[in-house]
Amino acid sequence: MAGHGHGGGSPAPSVWSTDFRQTFRTMADKPAFGMLVSADSKRSDEREERLTQASASIPSAIFWFLLATLFITVVALGVCLPRRNNRGQLITLTVITVLLTAMLIIIRDVDRPFGGIIDVNPTAIAEVERQATRDFLAHNGADDIPCDDQGDRRPA
């Protein structure tokens, strides 16, 4: 999916939504219609929520400012260390540097949950897709599904 992990969106789901709604118009008198409309609405809501969560709330400029501030602080503290008998101060400076760097990495990773170390999976939308497919197939044949496994429209 284009934009995965970067807060961007793919135009494909919007096209699919339009296609779903056009297909639903032709199925208005079938029993699965209400379930399909409900599932499509839930899918759309889950997608919007995922895109909102994937958008970084900390601008890159602020992150780079924090990184530069950390670098300047560490260098300034390193310059101020005594030249002799400084083992304790070097260990302390190293530990502080590692902790502050780890903190910045964690903040950046938490701010972008759909990539990096955390990498949240799209379980909610996958469940909606599974339910919609199950409900559709319960009332229609697999040949009636308008797209293939990759989401490309099947020839009419």
Whether 100 and 70 map to the same domain: the answer is yes
Tell whether 64 and 44 lie within a shared domain: no
Residues 18 and 91 in one domain: no
Contact residues for 96 (Cβ-Cβ < 8 A; gap 6+)? 74, 77
The residue length of the chain stands at 156
CA distance 89 to 78: 9
Higher pLDDT, 83 or 7: 83
From the centroid of its chain, how far is CA 155? 32
Q: What is the mean pLDDT of the chain?
A: 76
- Are residue 99 and residue 64 in the same domain, yes or no? yes
Residue 93 placed within a domain: yes
At residue 4, does pLDDT exceed 50?
no
The answer to whether residue 132 is domain-embedded is: yes
98-127, pLDDT tens digit by residue?
999 999 888 888 777 666 676 667 777 778
Domain containing residue 90? 60-111
Other beta carbons within 10 angstroms of residue 145's beta carbon come to: 14
Task: Check whether residue 64 and residue 89 sit in a common domain.
Answer: yes
The number of folded domains in the chain is 2
Share of the chain above pLDDT 90, in %: 11
pLDDT band at 69 (very low <50, low <70, confident <90, very high): very high
Sorting pLDDT into bands at 50, 70 and 90, what band is 31? Answer: low
Same domain, 23 and 52: yes
On whether both 64 and 103 belong to a single domain, the answer is yes
Domain-located, residue 39: yes
Residues 71 and 48 in one domain: no
**With helix as H, strand as E and coil as C, how does 6-58 read?**
CCCCCCHHHHHHHHHHHHHHHCCCCCCHHHHHHHHHHHHHHHHHHHHHHCCCC
150 lies in some domain: no
Please indicate, yes or no, whether residues 71 and 44 belong to a single structural domain of this protein: no
Question: How many angstroms separate the CA atoms of 69 and 63, rounded?
Answer: 10
pLDDT reading at 135 higher than 50: yes
Does pTM surpass 0.85? no
Closest CA to 43 of 129, 143, 122: 129
Are 51 and 77 part of one and the same domain? Answer: no
Q: What is the pLDDT of residues 78-95, one digit of tens each?
A: 888 888 888 888 899 999
Burial 72-88 (b: 16+ CB within 10 A, else e): eebeeeeeeeeeeeeee
Structure tokens at 153: 């429209």
Q: Are 133 and 99 contained in the same domain?
A: no
